[in-house]
Structure formats: C-alpha cells, structure tokens
C-alpha cells in the first residue's frame, strides 16, 4: 500500500472542495462566474463544474465549516488579495474536524484514524 501524505489529500480533495464552496458562496453574493474564476485563480469552466457538482464533489463539510467558508467568501469578495489567508484558515478549521482522516478511511488508505492529518 502506498503512503498517501496528508498534504496530498489536501491538494486532491480539500482545496478543490474549498474552492467549490467558495464559488457557491461568492455566487450567492451576486458575483459573476468570470469574477469568481478571476478571484479563485481558476477557469470559468472550473467554476461551472464546481457549481454543478461535477468537480470536487467527493467531500462534504459540516455546517460549522460551511459557515466559515461563507464568512471567508464575504471577506474575499471585498478583498480578493486575502484569498490565500482565508483558504489557509478554512483548511485549519476543516482539518480540526478530522475530514482528512475520514478521506483516508473511506479510501482504505488507513485502517483507523491516526490523527496525523489534523495536527
């Protein structure tokens, strides 16, 4: 069995899911998809896929994390230069919920929660 590092799970699952939820929240704030793609540094096609749940649909956040993502979207909509800071903040919150550990278990990458992913 190959060792999957927590950072790989962040890149493959967590960051795309955060972008998905930020795109949904920014759309609710009445930003256009082209503006959202510029802010998030992705293509407009990626934003469309996020909104249609055709991309980054493997991971679901709890209500607390979703609320924090909504708060971050409000901040980012006013100050896009804070995107990286806000994504890092959301990553930290998400990791505290053991979301990466759950991905490890769901994908049979680890048998039990090892607590490495959220430290």
pLDDT of residue 80: 97
Both tokens of 3, joined, read 């060792």
Both tokens of 12, joined, read 């493959």
Both tokens of 78, joined, read 């006013």
Render pLDDT for 59-113 as a digit per residue (tens, 0 to 9). Answer: 889 999 999 999 999 999 999 999 999 999 999 998 888 887 777 666 555 555 5
Greater confidence (107 vs 19) lies with 19
Contact criterion met (CB below 8 Å) for 19 and 113: no
pTM of the model: 0.86
Contact criterion met (CB below 8 Å) for 62 and 81: no
Residue recorded with tokens 């930290």? 92
């Amino acid at each position: 069995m190959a060792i999957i590092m927590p950072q790989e799970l962040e890149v493959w699952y967590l960051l795309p899911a955060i972008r998905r939820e930020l795109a949904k929240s920014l759309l609710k704030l009445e930003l256009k998809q082209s503006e959202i793609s510029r802010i998030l540094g992705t293509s407009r096609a990626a934003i469309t896929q996020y909104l249609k749940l055709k991309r980054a649909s493997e991971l679901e956040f709890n209500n607390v994390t979703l609320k924090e993502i909504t708060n971050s979207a409000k901040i980012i909509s006013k100050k896009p230069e804070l995107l990286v800071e806000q994504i890092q903040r959301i990553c930290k919150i998400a990791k505290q919920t053991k979301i990466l550990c759950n991905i490890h278990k769901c994908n049979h990458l680890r048998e039990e929660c090892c607590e490495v992913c959220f430290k």
